[in-house]
Amino acid sequence: MLQDRRILLIISGGIAAYKSLDLIRRLRERGAAVRCIMTAAAKHFVTPLSVASLSEDKVYDDLWSLTDESEMGHIRLSREADLVVVAPASADLIARMAAGLADDLATTALLASDKPVLIAPTMNLMMWAHPATQANLATLDARGVVRVGPGSGELACGEVGSGRMSEPLEIIAAIEHVLVGDKRLAGKRALVTSGPTREPIDPVRYISNHSSGKQGHAIAAALAALGAETVLVSGPTHEPSPAGVKLVPVETAAEMLAACEAALPVDVAVMAAAVALQPVSGFPLAWAIGLSPFGEFWITVSLLFYVLIVAAWLAAVRLEMRIRGLAREAALNALPLPPAYRKLFRAWTWLAGPILAGMTVVYALMIWQPRLD
């Protein structure tokens, strides 16, 4: 897909600059021609010799080079590329891009470019969350600059949160999306839920599951790659944010429901999250545990399967939102059933959520036996 494509890679200063070496290697493996610009700060983390060896081309770093600038090098570099990629994109370089500065070769080439620009931000989580950085990103978004990442996890500074540069393969996927992406869903809105939820029992403990979020994140990435404006509502997961996707992080099922409702209306919804069982305060459902010999006391943990998310979404059909089940229609069409049975099956899939919710309440009332002193 990238054979004979020309990529101008701008490497800024940051510990994540080492990933740019792997990015160059993987781009070359796919047949892309890579030219590199390094900022002064970038040379503190990776050497121009390493970059030149992997890219098999000269490294450009001096705006005042008599040899290069005699041919208007900063204009030639940006105009001869099919795509400009900034990886890593530091907070400093993002700020200078937003301000339109042109005080070194990297920012001058960016300002002189008429080609698509893709950035892969990386920085400390507090720098990422700072209003100035978010305002700069909003400015770049408005100008059509494409962003991939950052991901969440342990950062080089020892803190944990958003700010990790996307992995080289994720950046390559974003590059392919920009250069050769299929836009058949352009103008459509999509919503995807992903990952687990955490339902607190008390301030220390919670109920959750082992969902990785890989499926939901992959579906969101595929929808975004097809041009859909995609909102990804995700529980706690280590999966990086897909390129071109608006990520809405949540913790609990209630937060996930609220985020889904806030995303309406949409054309496509894929509910891939593994919603955990929810402890419901004041609604004893299951069991009490007596502890002795330290004196009898009871711990009541009420568990209610959170079908309310499904039920709410079924009701949201009235709000002109279409839910497309990934397996329901495919399985239905594959069954040799008469038309009447197909209609009955479709009706059951729409009524299953409310029916299960009612059965859960009835079951709770049947088995709950209040303790009498």
Catalytic residues: 157
What is the C-alpha separation between 129 and 121, in angstroms, rounded? 12
Q: Does an H or E element contain 75, and which?
A: helix 73-79
Quick check: bond before 354 cis, omega within 30?
A: no
Question: 270: which 2 tokens?
Answer: 């894929």
H runs (alpha helix) in 154-269: 168-180, 214-225, 253-263
Q: Supply angle C-alpha 148, 193, 199, rounded to 5.
A: 115
- ∠ CA 324-328-331 to the nearest 5 degrees? 140
Q: Is 232 within 8 Å of 247 (Cβ atoms)?
A: yes
State the pairing for strand pair 83-89/117-121: parallel
Structure tokens at 262: 């806030």
Instruction: Record the tokens describing residue 150, joined without a space.
Output: 């950052």
The first and second tokens of residue 223, run together, are 């929808």
Q: DSSP state, 32?
A: -
Instruction: Give first-to-last CA distance, the chain, whole Å.
Output: 73
Residue with tokens 């890593």: 88
Burial class of residue 342 (count of CB atoms within 10 Å of its CB; 0-12, 13-18, 19+): middle
| CB-CB contact of 187 with 202 (8 Å) | no
The answer for residues whose C-beta is within 8 angstroms of residue 34's C-beta and 6 or more apart is 7, 9, 24, 27, 28, 55, 57
d(CA 230, CA 206): 29
| Maximum Cα interatomic distance, the chain, rounded to a whole number of Å | 94
